[in-house]
Structure formats: structure tokens, C-alpha cells
Structure 1
Amino acid sequence: LILDDVWSMEILEKLSFTGKGYRTLVTTQHRSIIRTKTSTRLYEFPLLDDADALPLFCFWAFRQKSIPSNADNQLVKQVQAECKGLPLALKVIRSSLYGQPHPAWEGAKNKLLKGESISYYHKEGLLRCLETSIDALDEEAWECFLDLGSF
């Protein structure tokens, strides 16, 4: 069983159980909800550091691995930094800003600093990324996804 993005211990307790040959994979941003058991293995995925995040961001935002000379170096780094090293955020935000003029980048930076979505298309881009994974599910996995999604 895979429980993705679990936010509360209550949900984890309701959905997890043990059985012979049975495993549960839990992803969460909240370490406090994971109980440490002898059978529990905790793996923390590291965020991308700036050395890895900036070239990735630039590759998709500018189609090159560094900030182009005609771009505002500081602004690009500020927008990239607001992605907090999260690969999905880097991908979605860079695609929203690809080919956009300087004012769009400034607006995006200001919205990100306030924790706001940068645009309707930004939300749509995120949903498209998630949709790809969901569309790849076989029928049984799809039924399980619907069961968990309606919980």
C-alpha cells in the first residue's frame, strides 16, 4: 500500500495495518507522524541544492544550462530560490515563465515570495504533471487510487 503525502497521524492510523508479506510506503512532509518501529525504514529525500537546481531550472526556462546574458541574473536566482530545491516546483514554474518578459518574472517572484500561485497556467501545469502519473495506473491501481482519493 502506498500512502502519498500523509498530513496527519489520524489518517495514517486508519489506513495502515500489518500482515504477512504486506508493506506500506508512506510519503510525508511531516516527520513527526512517522512512528519509529524496528520494521520502519526512514529515507529522507534531499532537496536539490543551488548547484543542481539552478542549471536544471535554466535548462528548462532558457534551453541552456546557465543564465543567459540578456536575463536578469539576480531575478532568475530569486525565482529559482523560491522553488526551495523541489524538482516539481522547478519544472512547473520554469515552464510557466519560459519565453516570458521581465515583468512576468518580477510578478512571479513577488507572488512566490507571498506564497501565492504565479498563474492559472502554473496550477494547470502542476495538474498535468500529476495527470501523467495517474494516467499510467493499471485498472486495479486506478480503483485503489479512487478509493483513497475519496477518503
Structure 2
Amino acid sequence: MDPVRELRLVVTVDDYDEAVAFYRDVLGLPERGAYEAPNGGLVTILEAGRATLELANAAQADYIDEVEVGRRVAGKYRVAFEVTDSAGTTQRLAEAGAAVVAAPVRTPWDSLNARLEGPGGLQLTLFEELGEAD
């Protein structure tokens, strides 16, 4: 039996409706559920395929930023989404209000990665695997 069944990233956002529309409707994350608390609190849980926890030291974070952006830009947290079309998804998210930090670039690990900042101040990497699928 696996001790952990799910990884969930919880983000508190200033503009809830904008964030839900962006991540659910534009990025295309399916909605698992949405709930309202008695105090007016709102939460929407979106599916994002399988989840992994990627731990990196500062040198690796520097290297990834250098490859994807050309300089150090990420804070302590960055969310990466594997997509089937990095360039097209980058354009779609930018049209929906994401700030493009760096256009898609081919990485030494054979993926096409773009960097954006989405609603809620989340730094996003969109990556498209270019090598053979596992």
C-alpha cells in the first residue's frame, strides 16, 4: 500500500473567478469539485493528471531558470504542467492573461519548456516531452 495517495497544491488567490477560469477553462484542468463554506469561502479542486513532488537544490533551480529563461526568476515555488503542445498552450494562456516570462525553448533534457506567471502569482513551466514517451 502506498502511504500517500495524492499530492495537492493549495493556492490562495486574490481573484478567485479569474484563477478558476484560467486554470480550468483555458489551461483545461478538469474540475473534480467546487465547494462553498458557510463563511462565503470558495474552493475548486482541479485534476492535473499525476502529481509529483520535485525537490531541487538552489544550484539546480538556478540551472533550470538559466535554461528556460536565461536568468534566475523563480521564487521558492514553481508549478510545472506537462502539455502536448508547449507553444500553443503558451499562446493560449498568454491570450488569457498570463505573463510570458520566456517563450518555449528546447532544453538539454529534450523537452520544450516555456515559463509564465499565472493568476495567483504562480510561476508556471509548461513542458512538452520531445523524446520517446515512457
TM-score normalised by L of structure 1? 0.24
Greater strand percent: which structure? 2
Which one has the largest radius of gyration? 1
Greater helix percent: which structure? 1
TM-score normalised by L of structure 2? 0.26
Between 1 and 2, higher relative CO (CA 8 Å, sep ≥ 6) is seen in 2
